[in-house]
Amino acid sequence: MSTQPVFIPVGDLADGFAPDSHILPASPVLQGQQLVLHFADGSRASLHAGEQHCQLEALEHGTAAGFTGQGHYRASSLRPGIVLLDLLPEHTHGHSLSLVLDVSRGLFTAVAGQLPQADDVARSAFSRVMSGDELTAVHCQFAHGCIDQPVTANSPLHQITDELIGLRNQYRYSPTECYEHIYLNSHFYTWQCLQGVEQGLADVDRCHYFKLAAQLYLFVWREKIVPTLGVVLIDLQQLKTDGKIFGYQGNNFTALSNFPVGARAQILNHTSHAL
């Protein structure tokens, strides 16, 4: 007799992913760097990165003010010239900040996430729909801009893309953890765990896609059952991914789990709908 698969906290997911995972090593490329991030609305933020600690400070009011904080960070580089910086800002429980620094072209994309409180998570899907809210209570903001130079009308900022839509990919995160993704449309993707601590689980969740370079994408998802934010770079040239998963350590919403993930990718097929 089969057993009912159970959704688990993000902290338990981190424990399952940890052994022999395919995460990238941390990169020291940002250590000692001081960059100025110019947002599309003209506001700016300064980025100071040390050996383990970094600080993002807004220099003007505007979009930049929503992408500030300081704390211990992780930097990794899936492709030369592109760095993923991730941190949980100190003194702002439940907040996440990730930067894709395209230093080779002087561009960046910022991702600010916020986990919901317990009462928001407890709302039913029906009540959220009746209120006109998204099914997921995980919030996310995006911003784009240039590094060390103002944004102009000709700046080739990272853009929303539909190039992943229709792909069915398999991701091997470790010898024990394997998932499948199908990128359904511009708003949703579906996932299932083929092997691992979530084996048998599947869902359809809200997602966002941005093109960074040829066959390199920023993929962000927000889960609605267990509050989860995923920020991952997908490189279809190297067939590798790099990023993080963010959520609560347990079910009491007091402790956080923010852990790196990386996978070996396999494209299973591509579906095109002739309408």
Give pLDDT tens digits for 103-133: 999 999 999 999 999 999 999 999 999 999 9
pLDDT at 2: 60
Roughly how many angstroms between the first and final C-alpha of the chain, as a whole number? 42
| CATH of the structural domain 10-270, one choice from 2.40.40.20, 2.40.128.20, 1.20.1070.10, 3.40.50.150 | 2.40.128.20
What share of the chain has pLDDT > 70, as a percent? Answer: 99
What share of the chain has pLDDT > 90, as a percent? Answer: 95
Give pLDDT tens digits for 152-172: 999 999 999 999 999 999 999
Distance CA 98, CA 109 (A): 8
What is the DSSP secondary structure assignment for residue 76, as one 8-state letter?
E
Question: Is the pLDDT confidence value at 262 over 70?
Answer: yes
Question: Is the pLDDT confidence value at 78 over 50?
Answer: yes
Distance CA 169, CA 147 (A): 32
Distance CA 221, CA 230 (A): 5
Question: Is the pLDDT confidence value at 94 over 90?
Answer: yes
What is the average per-residue pLDDT within 62-81?
Answer: 97
Give me the amino acid identity at 98. S
Model pTM? 0.97
Distance CA 175, CA 199 (A): 14
Distance CA 166, CA 185 (A): 7
